[in-house]
């Protein structure tokens, strides 16, 4: 009997819930309560991306969620590694810190790290966070991942990379899908061969996720927020989470 493929963990990004709450200036929806409901529906993790202007997730949310997200559920905090953000990580002590290169004013994460240029800084930051038992993931764009970037990755030695999947999403319904997916597969294999685990996120949805996981089986975790919340408006949150859990089980 053939064994089933390994399960990928689903981490739900709750930024959009915070955006909705902030639009009215009160506390509906309550982000922590919604996160608890999402966990109760079977999600494996909660992701947030606080920004300095507090336009969605705020500092208080980070600590409120820390009270909700308990093992075996994982807490992932994304952000640009500014001094303030690193201090926040050390105070909140999430399971994982996903470091992204976008500046504070960016609407959303829109690029991967230039690892070779930022090697010294990222090496020091990764060591600092690992000393505090925080797993370190670096946002990487497969389209610009060349031999020089691989060499830098080997020296930085993060625990994981997160594949920036916007280009995969954009190519999914075009003739370039197979070629683009092969690019992601190549980078995932290189990372794993060098002891770096693989996550993925950005513009993933129910339409494209199964295909990605089938062709890039190295992916251990996906972080999904915008599409999941949009789909939940049509399907309901329980059905949407259930659909994603079916996909990530890969049975």
Residue of 74, 119, 162, 202 with catalytic role:
202
pLDDT number for residue 3 = 41
pLDDT number for residue 152 = 98
Token pair for 212: 């990605």
The residue count of the chain comes to: 251
202 in catalytic set: yes
74 in catalytic set: no
Query: Do 43 and 224 meet the contact criterion of CB atoms below 8 Å apart?
Result: no
Residue of 49, 74, 149, 218 with catalytic role:
49
226 in catalytic set: no
Residue of 44, 56, 78, 149 with catalytic role:
78
Average pLDDT of adjacent 10-residue blocks, the chain of 251 residues: 67 97 94 98 98 92 97 97 96 97 66 94 97 97 96 97 97 98 98 98 97 98 97 98 94 54
User: How many C-beta atoms surround the C-beta of residue 32 within 10 A?
Assistant: 21
User: How many C-beta atoms surround the C-beta of residue 210 within 10 A?
Assistant: 14
**Chain center to CA of 40:** 20
Q: CA neighbours within 13 Å on the CB side: how many for 197?
A: 13
DSSP-assigned letters across all residues of the chain: -PPPPPPPEEEEE-HHHHHHHHTTTS-SS-HHHHHHHHHHTT-SEEEE---TT-SSS-HHHHHHHHHH--TTSEEEEEE---HHHHHHHHHH--SEEEE----TT-SS------TTTTHHHHHHHHHHHHHTT-EEEEEE-GGG--HHHHHHHHHH--SEEEEE-HHHHHHTTSTTHHHHHHHHHHHHHHHHHTT-EEEEESS--TTTHHHHHHH-TTEEEEEE-HHHHHHHHHH-HHHHHHHHHHHHH--
pLDDT number for residue 52 = 87
At CA 93, angle to CA 200 and CA 194, rounded to 5? Answer: 40
d(Cα 168, Cα 110) in Å, to the nearest integer? Answer: 13
């Amino acid at each position: 009997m053939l064994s089933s493929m390994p399960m990928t963990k689903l981490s739900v990004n709750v930024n959009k819930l915070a955006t909705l709450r902030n639009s009215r200036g009160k506390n509906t929806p309550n982000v922590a309560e919604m996160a608890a409901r999402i966990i109760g529906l079977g999600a494996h993790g909660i992701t947030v991306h606080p920004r300095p202007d507090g336009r969605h997730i705020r500092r208080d949310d980070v600590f409120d969620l820390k009270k909700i997200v308990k093992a075996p559920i994982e807490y992932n905090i994304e952000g640009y590694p500014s001094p303030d953000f690193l201090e926040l990580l050390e105070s909140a002590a999430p399971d994982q810190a996903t470091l992204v290169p976008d500046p504070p004013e960016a609407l959303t994460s829109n690029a991967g790290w230039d690892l070779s240029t930022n090697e010294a800084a990222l090496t020091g930051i990764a060591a600092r966070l690992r000393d505090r038992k925080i797993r370190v993931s670096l946002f990487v764009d497969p389209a610009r991942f060349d031999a020089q970037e691989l060499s830098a990755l080997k020296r930085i030695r993060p625990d994981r990379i997160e594949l920036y999947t916007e280009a995969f999403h954009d190519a999914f319904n075009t003739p370039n899908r197979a070629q683009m997916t092969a690019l992601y597969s190549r980078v995932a294999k290189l990372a794993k061969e060098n002891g770096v685990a693989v996550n993925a996120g950005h513009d993933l949805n129910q339409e494209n996720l199964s295909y990605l996981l089938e062709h890039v089986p190295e992916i251990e975790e996906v972080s999904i927020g915008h599409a999941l919340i949009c789909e939940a408006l049509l399907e309901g949150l329980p059905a949407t989470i259930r659909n994603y859990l079916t996909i990530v089980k890969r049975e």
